[in-house]
Structure 1
Amino acid sequence: MDDELFPRERAQIAPGAVHLPGWLDPAHQRELLAACRDWARPPAGLRTVRTPGGGTMTARQVCLGWHWYPYAYARTVGDGDGDGAPVKPFPAWLGELGRRAVADTLGPAEARDAAYDIALINFYDGDAHMGMHRDADERSGAPVVSLSLGDTCVFRFGNTLTRTRPYTDVELRSGDLFVFGGPSRPAYHGVPRVLPGTAPTGLGLSGRLNITLRVSGFPDAT
């Protein structure tokens, strides 16, 4: 979609929620994709997430730093079809990327003390989606950083009170950045659909990867 008549511009979707199109250039997208492929390998690799009610999430997931499962965190991958291995470490460079993302969207003051230590990496194939939910299992209110690679998706950003309207649908493409903090940190959000075949041809990815960075705020976080 490089031949658009008008370039996509930065947009504030809600107070504290900012969409910055094309934040990652093609070279950085390829570097991040290579890292995701390495993280997805076992042990503690890409897994299917099972909910307490017995269902499964259609997006598969791998975690760094802390392993998320519905609805808590652990240091080992013991749920769903996990292998019980220790969660992979959260790299320092990914934390720096998160702080830079916050500085570029919400300003340097918001980024200064954001000690990112969790990454949730979700892989969506053409049929995958994510229901409306809040990121509420952390003890920190630091902004959430979301990076997109591969196929375009419809990202639904809602309100802080209900999973239903009002919400705003945002098209997230490969390389896009979405950050939400402040009053929008507890907002409901989800991915109602992915648009297959829309990934950049030079990336080499079929499907969508979403890399979400969070600050745990846990007492034993290092």
Structure 2
Amino acid sequence: MTRPGGNLRRKMIQSAFYLSLFTLAGISFLLVTQHITAEPIKQAEKQVLLKTIDQILPTTQYNNDLFTDTITVTSPDYLGTTDPVTIYRARFNKKPVAVIFKVIATNGYSGNIEIITGIYQDGTLSGVRVLKHRETPGLGDKIETRKTDWVLGFSGERLQPDQKRYWRVKKDGGHFDQFTGATITPRAIVKAVKNALDFYQQNGDRLYDSTQSN
């Protein structure tokens, strides 16, 4: 005669076994799915980034592969993040043309704003675009090119020795327009772009060093 306690114990063991089996199967499925989708996602992100880069640096100006000619740097004071930042190096017939890299504006109205900057070898901005933000629709989102052409105004700008107040919004005595009802967002972008230029000025041609690559 089987004791009731034995049946209960056996059922509990079986339940635990099947639960573990289902959990393992679920984890395996997730890992396989992640492995299968990782590369397509990576390629899609690469295409989006390349499309944005094309907007700030025409493909006619370089003939190397930006995604293989890179270095990684860490510069939280200038780039707004403690994470490593990839520097994409544009060259024409192996001669330096420009560098492209991301910088974070840490003091946006609704949090961090991720932008990408292109800087020619002589320190002139080739262009700036906003990649990610959470700014207020109808106000702060005017940093997007589909909303206004405000961000296009950075093209051709560069640092000058006598421009201490230049790199500010007009409300703060600077050169750049702010938005009606939204000063914090453009102020953050202007500061981040200046930081990017300062970073380039500090590092200069070392960023093109062919002995440094990933």
TM-score of the two chains, using structure 2 as the length reference:
0.29
Q: Which has the higher contact order (CA 8 A, sep 6+)?
A: 1
Specify the structure having the higher radius of gyration (Cα): 2
The structure whose residues are more often helix, as a share, is 2
